[in-house]
Amino acid sequence: MSIESPIREPLIFGDVNLHTITEDVCGPTEHKPTKAWWFGFTIACCGFAFGIFCFTWEVMFGIGTWGLNKTIGWGFDITNFVWWIGIGHAGTLISAILLLFRQEWRNSINRSAEAMTIFAVMCAGMFPIFHMGRVWNAHMFLPLPNDFGPLWPNFNSPLLWDVFAISTYFTVSLVFWYTGLLPDLASIRDRATTKMRWSIYNFLSFGWTGSVRHWNRFELVSLILAGISTPLVLSVHTIVSFDFATSVIPGWHTTIFPPYFVAGAIFSGFAMVHTLLVVARVTMKLENYITIGHLEAMAKIITLTGSMVGIAYGTEFFMAWYSGYKYEQFAFINRAFGPYWWAYWSMITCNVITPQLFWFRKIRRSPVAIFILSIFVNIGMWFERFVIIVISLHRDFLPSSWAMYVPTWVEAGMFIGTIGFFFWWFFLFAKFFPVIAMAEVKMIWKKTTTGKPAGAFLPLQDYDPDKAYQLADMNNPNYLDSAGGHDHGHSEHHHTEEPITH
């Protein structure tokens, strides 16, 4: 067993043991939902219902109900699509890339972040489908034999690559997430007190028992899925950026788009994870597992990716000037000082300036500040896509066709509808599924709480990262022994590598 440095912040706080982890995570699925849950769920349902109305309206009366025109063919719909897909990137980053980097703080947040990914990708997928107008022909996205003779989709087109990328991303994320859920669903099954509940969770948990042979394969499957999801998550937003970058529109025709979009996606995804978890950890009483340290770690990633996005904005401007291509130069001047200047400067403020506040530890560790800043990032990243799509289109090569774009209530309603849809799913998930990967948290429980300054079992509010070093008790036998163990009913026996023989 390995022991962490005592000055490293514990990942789990409070008087926690293996059983309390099960209690705390399974508890919310076993009790009646709280008032706060009903309140949130009702609002989400209203948004979702309004969305269904607007989607239906659009299908009945066509794309003419949107504010698009001849010049601006992509507006709210593609902006929302890219925004949602971007949000969907944090979950797989947390579950796959951070697994490969052995970042154990991911264990408390990967389940909910990945659920969020799946719901966000579902929201994203709706926009291109409904943008077709004739949604009943949506299957023509796919390379299926069809009624029009042997006519196939064009595999040279980035829009078709998108279909493959997003459907693969959704499927692989779902499989990864669900496979990880099996042990925890089995925990809920084994605690069931009614036949009905047992049957449902037994069906969902696929008959998981926790056998050593299953765990052995399970860990390998997780590792390989993480290995293949890592290039996948990078490929998805790369391919989304190709939708723009392979065109010749000034402002779109940019070679830095793939890394720039991937960084932006991770940026907005983590912001959404912040928004959800800052609230969920308090309302679901999970502060001991999703600690301030977890929020801080995510804030650091937000600062990093936000700065990368900031550099990308600068690079675009520089390249426009350096290329000597006057249409490109005009496109960027028009972005910052044209009629949509307010969108551009909202984007700069929310994406480049405000996340820099996370350099201050006080702000990085304050849930209220994190919540506010994460909302700023969500707004900023929405504006980023609006800026790229609408501002680049509205003044193109031919001044006589310059136009402005104003969304209609149908488009706004569809966006609200997907937000409602997203939260509708998230509330159901939080009620019926374990929101924390219990098995993974149990795995790090002993390691993260042993030999820590004030010992494990530290109440969260008593932890001060600045004083951790002074408090670290280097003479603590538990720490030096590298054997692990405190007297809380566990690990009285020291573990040695040699086989024990009697």
- Which residues in the 50-79 window bind other proteins by CB under 8 A? none
Site membership for other proteins, residue 329 (CB under 8 A): no
Q: Which of 271, 370, 439, 468 binds other proteins (CB under 8 A)?
A: 439
Least Å from the CB of residue 166 to other proteins = 9
Give the relative orientation of helices 292-323 and 257-283 as an angle to the nearest 10 degrees: 160
DSSP state, residue 351: I
C-beta of residue 109 within 8 angstroms of C-beta of residue 273 = yes
- Return the amino acid letter for 494: H
Residue with Cβ nearer other proteins (221 or 372): 221
Per-residue CA distances from 7 to 364, 448, 449, 455 (Å): 19, 11, 11, 11
Q: At which residue do the structure tokens 């291109």 appear?
A: 128
Round to whole Å and give the CA distance between 95 and 73: 36
Least Å from the CB of residue 469 to other proteins = 28
- Return the amino acid letter for 64: G
Site membership for other proteins, residue 175 (CB under 8 A): yes
Round to whole Å and give the CA distance between 483 and 495: 6
From residue 14 to residue 53, the character string flagging contacts with other proteins as x (rule: CB under 8 A) and all else as - is ---xxx--x-------------------------------
Q: Which helix (H) or strand (E) covers residue 265, if one does?
A: helix 257-283
Taking the CA atoms of 36, 41, 44 and 49 in sequence, report the sign of the dihedral they define.
negative
Q: Which of 109, 165, 370, 387 binds other proteins (CB under 8 A)?
A: 165
The per-residue DSSP string of 67-104 comes to: S--SS---SHHHHHHHHHHHHTHHHHIIIIIHHHTT-T
Site membership for other proteins, residue 432 (CB under 8 A): no
What is the CB neighbour count within 10 angstroms for residue 494? 11
Residues 138-157 that bind other proteins (CB under 8 A): 143, 149-156
Q: Which of 45, 122, 192, 279 binds other proteins (CB under 8 A)?
A: 192
CA 6-8-12 angle, 5° bins: 95
Site membership for other proteins, residue 8 (CB under 8 A): no
Site membership for other proteins, residue 202 (CB under 8 A): yes
Least Å from the CB of residue 211 to other proteins = 5
Q: Which residues contact 49 (CB under 8 A, 6 or more apart)?
A: 420
Site membership for other proteins, residue 330 (CB under 8 A): no
Residues 220-239 that bind other proteins (CB under 8 A): 220-221, 224-225, 228-229, 231-232, 235, 239
Round to whole Å and give the CA distance between 297 and 71: 43
CA 488-109-371 angle, 5° bins: 115
Least Å from the CB of residue 206 to other proteins = 4
Least Å from the CB of residue 483 to other proteins = 8
Q: Which of 39, 61, 101, 206 binds other proteins (CB under 8 A)?
A: 206
Residue with Cβ nearer other proteins (32 or 493): 493
Site membership for other proteins, residue 200 (CB under 8 A): no
Q: Which of 12, 72, 172, 472 binds other proteins (CB under 8 A)?
A: 172
The per-residue DSSP string of 475-496 comes to: T-HHHHHTS---TTTS--SPP-
DSSP three-state, residue 244: helix
Q: Which of 251, 374, 440, 453 binds other proteins (CB under 8 A)?
A: 440
Least Å from the CB of residue 283 to other proteins = 24
Q: Which residues contact 492 (CB under 8 A, 6 or more apart)?
A: 485
Least Å from the CB of residue 486 to other proteins = 12
Residue with Cβ nearer other proteins (109 or 272): 109
Segment lying near other proteins (by CB under 8 A), choices 207-215, 256-264, 295-303, 316-324? 207-215
Round to whole Å and give the CA distance between 120 and 91: 10
Taking the CA atoms of 221, 125, 252 and 299 in sequence, report the sign of the dihedral they define.
negative
The two three-digit tokens of residue 17, written as one number: 């043991």
Site membership for other proteins, residue 300 (CB under 8 A): no
Site membership for other proteins, residue 259 (CB under 8 A): no
Site membership for other proteins, residue 488 (CB under 8 A): no
Site membership for other proteins, residue 164 (CB under 8 A): yes
Site membership for other proteins, residue 253 (CB under 8 A): no
Segment lying near other proteins (by CB under 8 A), choices 168-176, 307-315, 353-361, 391-399? 168-176
Least Å from the CB of residue 333 to other proteins = 32
Q: With contacts defined by CB under 8 A, how many residues of the chain interact with other proteins?
A: 85
CA 13-106-429 angle, 5° bins: 90
What is the CB neighbour count within 10 angstroms for residue 159? 14
DSSP state, residue 435: S
Site membership for other proteins, residue 490 (CB under 8 A): yes
Least Å from the CB of residue 423 to other proteins = 27
Site membership for other proteins, residue 482 (CB under 8 A): no
Per the document, the length of the chain is: 502
Site membership for other proteins, residue 492 (CB under 8 A): yes
Among 340, 80, 308, 381, smallest CA distance to 332 is for: 340
Residue with Cβ nearer other proteins (17 or 356): 17
Least Å from the CB of residue 169 to other proteins = 8
Site membership for other proteins, residue 179 (CB under 8 A): yes
Least Å from the CB of residue 302 to other proteins = 27
